[in-house]
Amino acid sequence: MITFLVASLLVVGVLLIIIEVITPGFGVVGGTGIVLTVAAVLVAWFQLGSREGLGAFLAAAVAVAFVLRTFPKTRAARAMILEEGLDARAPDPVLALLVGQHGVAVTPLRPSGSARLSAQLVDVVSEGVYVEAGTPVRVSRVEGNRVIVEPVQQYQGG
């Protein structure tokens, strides 16, 4: 009876650890698997003897090591791993120089659009307000690659 309990705890514990490795989650399933596996080892150790306890521990370790070693080579694992790199760029340092510059909205800003600043066309975002094309704007700040503008009363050249 005790041997069946140890084997059951061990099998269920290792299966839960495998499920945690295969599926993303919060660790509850894997934590439960670890607890059940440790319980199997402890029950085997104290009820059946140290040799059986060590055997249960080695069986669990070999099963988990086997899964961790073979799973990454499966088609399911390769489907979960990003192979291509991301095409991300750092913010353009030149954009920070635009803060305070004046220009004109070339397109309507709802809230994003284009504005002409210092004879160059720049993608901009308004401060959350609708800005009609032709309205004078000023660059209030730059956040990463976002150039944020606000409408101004009078255009001061540019």
- 50 with 111, same domain: the answer is no
- 7 with 53, same domain: the answer is yes
CATH of the domain at 110: 2.40.50.140
pLDDT of residue 154: 61
Residue at 118 is within a domain: yes
Residue at 50 is within a domain: yes
pLDDT of residue 104: 95
Q: Of 80, 108, 130, at which residue does a domain stop?
A: 80
- 124 with 146, same domain: the answer is yes
Kindly state the percentage of the chain with pLDDT values over 90.
37
Profile the chain (158 residues) by mean pLDDT over runs of 10 residues.
Answer: 87 86 80 91 90 89 84 77 65 84 94 91 91 94 91 66
Bond prior to 91 in cis (omega within 30° of 0): no
| Domain extent for 46 | 2-80
How many domains, in total, are found in the chain? 2
- 8 with 71, same domain: the answer is yes
pLDDT of residue 90: 66
- 13 with 76, same domain: the answer is yes
Q: Of 32, 57, 80, at which residue does a domain stop?
A: 80
pLDDT digits (tens, 9 = 90+) for 90-132: 667 888 889 999 999 999 999 899 999 988 899 999 988 899 9
Q: Provide the whole-model pTM.
A: 0.47
Residue at 86 is within a domain: no
